[in-house]
Chains A and B, each alone.
Chain A
Amino acid sequence: MNWLASMVGDQLPVLQVIVPLLAAPLCIILRRRSLVLPFAIIVCWAAFGVSVALLREVLEVGAITYELGGWAAPWGIEYRVDALGAFVLLFVSGIGALVLTYAPRSLIDEVPAGRHYLFCTLYLLSLTGLLGIAITGDLFNVFVFLEIAALSSYALIALGGRRQALPAAFQYLVMGTIGATFILIGIGLMYQMTGTLNMVDMADRLPAVEGMRTALVAFGFLTVGIALKMALFPLHVWLPNAYAYAPSAVSAFIAATSTKVSVYILLRFMFSVFGLEFSFEHLGLGRALMPLALAGIFVASTVAIFQRNIKRMLAYSSVAQVGYMVLGISFATATGLTGGIVHLFNHALIKGGLFMAMGCIMLRLHSVDLDEMAGIGRAMPWTMAAWALGGLGLIGVPATAGFISKWYLIQAALEQGSVLVAVLLLLSSLLALVYVWRVVETAFFREPSERAREAREAPLSMLVPTWVLLGATVFFGIYTAYSAGVAEQAAEAVLRGLP
């Protein structure tokens, strides 16, 4: 047994990716709904188990490396898990598992039963891609995983019940592909200069060639490509419709994970590969990112206020929240980075949970329109209470996870002496208050709409995962050793650069 455990323990990094990857085609073979869904759920939880084990190991012994197929780096592909990567792996797989557990009941309503096995396949593939990005230490591999995740999510979004899902998926595909191709160009240029694709190796060799124009061009392509993928304002246009018209479970999963992983790529490239000095001191990336982040926060939050479709509103809010993460990164200090990284995690919980609650509403109301949601708080008190809790997190009310992120960000701004940024940050939470409160007020204090009068509370199979996730936002708002604590370690590791 010990022998087995130690063997599994050594192989953890590859298991993280290969388990969902191999399970995906198996779903097609199993095909029957009653078999596929439980199987996929088990696989997701297994992936979560692996990520928990990885994080524990990383926190104990530091970064782990794994040579794929026994080929030594820099020739072979190296998997590399450090505190940041393990943290991302943990919440991506955790939310992936939770959302899939929640999904079956909502799928019956939104996706034809004959396509459920395809849904599971795509879902697992998407999960594979996202986990792969966070674990690999090879630049080209990042691109491949990025496209695995992206291609499967285009198809997942297209499964949405309304026809608007199709153009939304197409638009996402076009913009996503442009973004990925930009990243590919950037990687190619970097390879051209250094002759390596391994991140550690490249970080070693880059300083010698950083003065060259090619490095600048590569940096530019990468920044734009990643910004497209993470929907940084003003490159966010693909996001609102994609999130709004996807099936509820897909919205929850993608909203919680996909942009976060793109932010992770930004951190990896800008800090680990190019290095703090080049990206921020030499090129002034922070000065470019900060206004974009702030503009994104304000514009997207303002647009969110005027949305009638609440899923679309949440999508715009996501664009704004990406702004917070990028803002934290743009400070390029330990506190700022901690704020950005912990907001990755906190916002993943909050937004995932909110979209799950919207799934419950969709199931019972067959609409996510604000007017239809009038008075729904009476028929679905638990769902809407969960929603309100998540909303408070978005605003950043103390004792919710959102507060922790904001606290770090404000602190980072004040430490740098930019009171203005701190004030803007706080003012932006007021916009969040407006769009959140609009929904809360409509749901709880308005006379029920006709549909709302007939609605019932959502089934437990959906309610419980929703509450687990939104309950976690309160838990991590009070007990932060495993969110802010790990984020602090990750930020330090990122600032230190690769060994």
Chain B
Amino acid sequence: MIESIFDSALGLYNYWVVIFLMMTGFYIVISRGNLIKKVIGLNIFQVSVFLFYITVGKVSGGTAPITAEGFEVYSNPLPSVLILTAIVVGVATTSVALSLVVRIREAYNTIEEDEIYAQDDPR
């Protein structure tokens, strides 16, 4: 019993890291009004998913997927390849987001969400 708890708590530590990062990022996006912080949160959120993919691809006891003498078990290379694409998408998203923030700052002179909305719709 204790062993199984131990297994799921520590043996799957990589998944716990993923979940922790995911929740951290998500929380930042939701809770922070500063647009730059939102972008950072978004990044953390995305990175957690990248880690998740790479974790999935790891075969325990396997080595890097390069054919070589003496190795029988290889990790799955496909998730890493996929995540390369996802990283590119993530970088693109970040750059679009940052350039939007720059323009928002030019237009509103602030990057705090509530101040922006207050300017457009004073109540």
Q: Does B89 contact A (CB under 8 A)?
A: yes
Complex CA distance for A177 and B101, rounded to whole angstroms: 16
A185–B52 contact, CB under 8 A? yes
Knowing A170-B97, A181-B49, the reply to whether A158 touches B89 (Cβ < 8 A) is no
B93–A151 contact, CB under 8 A? yes
Main secondary structure of the interface of B (DSSP, over half): helix
| Chain B residues closer than 8 Å to A147, beta-carbon distance | 89, 92-93
Instruction: Please tell me which one of the listed residues A154, A158, A167 contacts residue B117 in the complex, with CB atoms under 8 A apart.
Output: A167
A163–B108 contact, CB under 8 A? yes
Complex CA distance for A180 and B92, rounded to whole angstroms: 14
Instruction: Please tell me which one of the listed residues B49, B100, B103, B113 contacts residue A173 in the complex, with CB atoms under 8 A apart.
Output: B100
Complex CA distance for A147 and B103, rounded to whole angstroms: 22
A177–B42 contact, CB under 8 A? yes
Q: Which of the four size classes fits the interface of chain B?
A: 20 to 34
- Closest A-chain residue to B39, C-beta based? A174
Smallest distance from the beta carbon of B31 to chain A beta carbons, Å? 13
Complex CA distance for A175 and B24, rounded to whole angstroms: 16
A170–B49 contact, CB under 8 A? no
| Chain B residues closer than 8 Å to A151, beta-carbon distance | 89, 92-93, 96
- Closest B-chain residue to A175, C-beta based? B29
How many interface contacts (CB-CB < 8 Å) are there between A and B? 70
Instruction: Please tell me which one of the listed residues B29, B85, B92, B103 contacts residue A166 in the complex, with CB atoms under 8 A apart.
Output: B103
Binary interface profile of B, 25-47, with partner A (CB < 8 Å = 1, else 0)? 01001000001001000100110
Smallest distance from the beta carbon of A256 to chain B beta carbons, Å? 23
B82–A140 contact, CB under 8 A? yes
Q: Does B68 contact A (CB under 8 A)?
A: no
Smallest distance from the beta carbon of B98 to chain A beta carbons, Å? 10
Smallest distance from the beta carbon of A259 to chain B beta carbons, Å? 20
Q: Does A169 contact B (CB under 8 A)?
A: yes
Q: Does A497 contact B (CB under 8 A)?
A: no
Q: Does B86 contact A (CB under 8 A)?
A: yes
B56–A192 contact, CB under 8 A? yes
Q: Does B23 contact A (CB under 8 A)?
A: no
Binary interface profile of B, 79-123, with partner A (CB < 8 Å = 1, else 0)? 100100110010011001100110110011000010011001000
- Closest A-chain residue to B93, C-beta based? A177
- Closest A-chain residue to B42, C-beta based? A177
Binary interface profile of A, 290-334, with partner B (CB < 8 Å = 1, else 0)? 000000000000000000000000000000000000000000000
Please indicate which of the listed interface residues A180, A184, A185, A192 has the most CB atoms of chain B within 10 Å of its own CB. A184
Instruction: Please tell me which one of the listed residues A154, A169, A181 contacts residue B45 in the complex, with CB atoms under 8 A apart.
Output: A181
- Closest A-chain residue to B108, C-beta based? A163
Knowing A167-B116, A169-B100, A174-B38, the reply to whether A191 touches B79 (Cβ < 8 A) is yes
Q: Does A354 contact B (CB under 8 A)?
A: no
Q: Does A155 contact B (CB under 8 A)?
A: yes
| Chain B residues closer than 8 Å to A164, beta-carbon distance | 120
Complex CA distance for A163 and B103, rounded to whole angstroms: 9
A163–B107 contact, CB under 8 A? yes
Complex CA distance for A164 and B108, rounded to whole angstroms: 10
Q: Does A144 contact B (CB under 8 A)?
A: yes
A185–B46 contact, CB under 8 A? no
Q: Does A178 contact B (CB under 8 A)?
A: yes
Interface residues of B in 38-73 (CB under 8 A from A): 38, 42, 45-46, 49, 52-53, 56
Q: Which residues from chain B sit less than 8 Å from chain A, CB to CB?
A: 26, 29, 35, 38, 42, 45-46, 49, 52-53, 56, 79, 82, 85-86, 89, 92-93, 96-97, 100-101, 103-104, 107-108, 113, 116-117, 120
In the A-B complex, the 7 residue pairs with the closest CB atoms: A163-B107, A147-B89, A166-B104, A192-B56, A170-B100, A167-B116, A188-B53
5 extra A-B contacts, CB within 8 A, seeds A166-B104, A167-B116, A184-B86: A170-B100, A174-B38, A178-B45, A180-B89, A181-B46
Q: List 6 A-B contacts (CB under 8 A).
A: A144-B89, A158-B100, A163-B120, A177-B93, A178-B42, A184-B49
